[in-house]
Structure 1
Amino acid sequence: MRRQAVAVALAIGMGCVTPTPAPDARPAESAQPSASAAPSATATARASVAEVAPAARPDGAGAPVPQAQDGGPGASAPGAAADAGAEADAAAVFAPDNKILPPLESQELTARASALFDAIVKNEPALAEPFWFPKEPFIPLKDVKGPGKYWDNLHAAYLADVKATHRKRKSWEGARFVGFEVGSRPKWVPPGKEANKIGYYRSLHGKLRYEIDGRPASIDVHTIISWQGRWYITHLGDFKKR
């Protein structure tokens, strides 16, 4: 037995025999990452979503508030509304003596002056009609023989003046309307003066202001007179020189 034990010991020492493990010995468990060291894929995904999506705010705080656009349904224009209301009131009031001084500036006056400018630029006299004194009130206003025929003559001269003014420039390309300025200080012309049965306010040499080629320019408007709170042209050019 002793010889056998010695032989076994020599064999182990020389590496020829592998010792048998003890019955209670168990193979070492492979190293497992701890929960704190390696978070699960679900936890990682949740963390990513939390970083991208902002936290919800109570009662919709921070939500964008729709803003009204200029000229849109939510916009208000008290100045324009007031002007429109004032002009409507002036038009609704009829003065038998016509003694209503029109404003020197108004939206409706600018619109009609702009139409006259377009008529000149395009050489289309019909566009200038809104600024011309209407025939219906002209007939009872003038104390002359055949006021209707006289109006026809003045009207024909007005249309001819539009065309003549257009011909003063070789080209109107790029011309831009700027505004209209009433000329001389309005003067009240009472009945009996200038062959009239009804008085009116009169102003001479108003100006159609415009720009062309980057430079300011103007067109002379010889005579405007009032009718029920509005200005109208009776002579675009100098009628007496015809």
Structure 2
Amino acid sequence: MRERVVVGALAMVMGCAAPGPTPEARPAESAQPSSAGAPPKATAAAGAGAAEAASAPPAEDTGGAALPQDGGAAAATPQQAPDAGAEADAAATFAADNKIKPPLASEELTARARGLFEAIVKNEPALADPFWFPKEPFIPLKDVKDPGKYWDNLHAAYVNDVKAMHRKRKGWEGARFVGFEVGSTPKWVPPGDEVNKIGYYRSFHGKLKYEIDGKPASLDVHTIISWQGRWYITHLGKFK
């Protein structure tokens, strides 16, 4: 009995000493939402800009044309005048009497002489045509019944001469073009001589020079005459 009384007393003492419930902590003020609800500064600035733009006067309509920044009239680009220099130069090199003496040596003469040499080496007469007197000026130059037919006959002889010169050697391997040398001193042939209506300069026996097997050699070019400052062949080989 005594033990029960002691146990009950101890139970009452422990119940009085037990702590009460801990009150919940209040949230910090910094964590509470702001009651002002003000928009961000950027939004406010944008609103102010929009209001200012709305109050500005409308831009003037220029009809789509761009105005110069300096306020002046746009400078017009002057049109380039047609270049008549080339036409003037071409007209200046033409002489109605054909009395323009060609140089004894020039790059264009060498180039056409090289073409003749290649025509002989390769047995391809067409390569020599640039050195042959052209048909267009030949017709008014020659005072014959049918100058066009006469030119055809002379050109056919030229083709045969190229082939004949090719046959002069058994082989042309290693042949190297050296140059062309005008023959006799050029002489002015006036109109009326050599059945011609227009005068020209003439030279005989030019030399087509080349090397083969380390030795110099040459081919005879019978007759060259001038046309507007250039030399052209009218007879490559001998003619009757």
TM interval, short-chain normalised: 0.5 to 0.7
> Does structure 1 residue 197 correspond to structure 2 residue 197?
yes
Task: Report deviation, 1:113.
Answer: 0.1
Tell me if structure 2 keeps the 8 A contact 1:132–1:233: yes
Q: Distance in 1 between matches of 2:127 and 2:102?
A: 23
Provide the secondary structure at the position in 2 that maps to 1:239: coil
1:124-145 CA deviation, whole Å, 9 max, x = no partner? 0000000000000000000001
Task: Report deviation, 1:198.
Answer: 0.1
Change (3 A) 1:196 1:108: same
The residue aligned with 2:132 is 132
The residue aligned with 1:228 is 228
Tell me if structure 2 keeps the 8 A contact 1:211–1:217: yes
The residue aligned with 2:171 is 171
Give unpaired runs (5+ residues) of structure 2. Answer: 1-88
The one-letter amino acid of 2:222's match is H
> Does structure 1 residue 151 correspond to structure 2 residue 145?
no
The one-letter amino acid of 2:216's match is P
Change (3 A) 1:186 1:91: farther
Tell me if structure 2 keeps the 8 A contact 1:133–1:234: yes
Tell me if structure 2 keeps the 8 A contact 1:104–1:181: yes
Provide the secondary structure at the position in 1 that maps to 2:221: strand
The residue aligned with 1:216 is 216
Task: Report deviation, 1:119.
Answer: 0.1
Tell me if structure 2 keeps the 8 A contact 1:91–1:229: no
The one-letter amino acid of 1:149's match is K
Matches within 5 A, 1:1-242: 93-240=93-240
Task: Report deviation, 1:93.
Answer: 1.1
Provide the secondary structure at the position in 1 that maps to 2:112: helix
Change (3 A) 1:170 1:187: same
Provide the secondary structure at the position in 2 that maps to 1:138: helix
1:160-204 CA deviation, whole Å, 9 max, x = no partner? 000000000000000000000000000000000000000000000
Q: Distance in 2 between matches of 1:201 and 1:90?
A: 21
Q: Distance in 1 between matches of 2:210 and 2:200?
A: 28
Q: Distance in 2 between matches of 1:124 and 1:93?
A: 32
Tell me if structure 2 keeps the 8 A contact 1:208–1:218: yes
Number of aligned residue pairs: 153
Q: CA RMSD in A?
A: 1.4
Normalising to structure 2: TM-score of the pair? 0.62
Tell me if structure 2 keeps the 8 A contact 1:114–1:179: yes
The one-letter amino acid of 2:106's match is S
Give unpaired runs (5+ residues) of structure 1. Answer: 1-88
1:16-47 CA deviation, whole Å, 9 max, x = no partner? xxxxxxxxxxxxxxxxxxxxxxxxxxxxxxxx
In the TM superposition, structure 1's runs of 4+ consecutive aligned residues that sit over 3 Å from their partners are 89-92
The residue aligned with 1:24 is none
The one-letter amino acid of 2:132's match is W
Q: Distance in 2 between matches of 1:92 and 1:219?
A: 35
Identity of aligned residues (%): 86
**Rg (Cα) greater in structure:** 2
The one-letter amino acid of 2:151's match is W
Q: Distance in 2 between matches of 1:186 and 1:90?
A: 24
Change (3 A) 1:91 1:180: farther
Q: Distance in 2 between matches of 1:226 and 1:186?
A: 9
Provide the secondary structure at the position in 1 that maps to 2:208: strand
The residue aligned with 1:29 is none
Tell me if structure 2 keeps the 8 A contact 1:208–1:219: yes
Q: Distance in 2 between matches of 1:93 and 1:188?
A: 18
